[in-house]
Chains A and B, each alone.
Chain A
Amino acid sequence: DAGITQSPRHKVTETGTPVTLRCHQTENHRYMYWYRQDPGHGLRLIHYSYGVKDTDKGEVSDGYSVSRSKTEDFLLTLESATSSQTSVYFCAISAGEGNSPLHFGNGTRLTVT
């Protein structure tokens, strides 16, 4: 799995609580991404990072924030979880721009009750 670890793998939380998901890579890749996967929607980009402390929004960024203080770690935070954020979250990494493929972690299944 290209040296990508997501934690936790499963989480159940209540509406209104903060949640942080962690992605850790050992590949020293520059780019890191957070996607969510929902039935009928495929994968949608939440946020991505192109370097330490350099992040940008994806197509479904509302309600999410990210931080990258080290090359190897990319954190996704739900400040106040809602039921609509119940999903499977995937982290991905990429070595560079242009024609670089993404390598994915195995996902975090988040349930907001």
Chain B
Amino acid sequence: SQQGEEDPQALSIQEGENATMNCSYKTSINNLQWYRQNSGRGLVHLILIRSNEREKHSGRLRVTLDTSKKSSSLLITASRAADTASYFCATANYGGATNKLIFGTGTLLAVQP
């Protein structure tokens, strides 16, 4: 069964706008990771946030984590057409083999030029 569920399933915005994607999960985690997938390619790691962290930044990416609500959000600021891709959250579960990641179903982001 899927651990993470992303919301929305699809998002279309204009270039320059911000894009926010959300991820909810079910069990306690060690960390949560976000990945990006361009069409026809493998996933690329974007950012990792540990369970004891609440916010993390990397360039135009901002990730928040709320372990009390079992949710995370990924914000992409000043979006570009090149940001068009699918975005997945993945969790490494507490107490399990932390090298096993469970992925959500993804958010398809379309950035219109």
Query: Could you tell me if B45 and A99 are in contact, using CB atoms closer than 8 angstroms?
Result: no
Partner of A59, one of B1, B45, B99, B104: B1
Q: A-contacting residues of B (Cβ < 8 Å)?
A: 1-2, 4, 30-31, 33, 35, 40-45, 48, 50, 88, 90, 92, 97-106
Chain A positions 35 through 49: 1 when the CB is less than 8 Å from some CB of chain B, otherwise 0: 100001111110010
With A42-B2, A45-B100, A98-B30: A105-B42 Cβ-Cβ less than 8 Å: yes
Q: B-contacting residues of A (Cβ < 8 Å)?
A: 1, 4, 31, 33, 35, 40-45, 48, 50, 56, 58-59, 90, 92, 94, 96-107
Query: Could you tell me if B48 and A101 are in contact, using CB atoms closer than 8 angstroms?
Result: yes
Partner of A48, one of B98, B100, B105: B100
Q: Total A-B pairs in contact (CB under 8 Å)?
A: 73
* Nearest 8 Cβ contacts at the A-B interface: A104-B42, A101-B45, A42-B105, A43-B103, A104-B43, A97-B99, A42-B103, A106-B42
Q: In this complex, what residue of A is CB-closest to B34?
A: A101
- Bound CA span A90–B106, Å: 16
With A1-B42, A103-B45: A41-B105 Cβ-Cβ less than 8 Å: yes
Query: Could you tell me if A90 and B30 are in contact, using CB atoms closer than 8 angstroms?
Result: no
Partner of A98, one of B45, B98, B103: B98
Task: Please indicate the chain A residues that have their CB under 8 angstroms from the CB of B97 in the complex.
Answer: 50, 56, 97
Task: Please indicate the chain A residues that have their CB under 8 angstroms from the CB of B44 in the complex.
Answer: 104
- Bound CA span A101–B32, Å: 10
- Bound CA span A59–B2, Å: 9
Task: Please indicate the chain A residues that have their CB under 8 angstroms from the CB of B88 in the complex.
Answer: 42-43
Whole-angstrom distance between the Cβ of B46 and the nearest chain A Cβ: 9
Whole-angstrom distance between the Cβ of B109 and the nearest chain A Cβ: 15
Query: Could you tell me if B100 and A96 are in contact, using CB atoms closer than 8 angstroms?
Result: no
A/B interface sample: 28 pairs, CB < 8 A: A1-B42, A31-B99, A41-B2, A42-B4, A42-B103, A43-B43, A43-B90, A43-B103, A45-B100, A48-B99, A48-B100, A59-B102, A90-B43, A97-B97, A97-B99, A98-B30, A98-B31, A98-B92, A98-B98, A99-B30, A99-B48, A102-B35, A102-B45, A102-B101, A104-B43, A106-B41, A107-B41, A107-B42
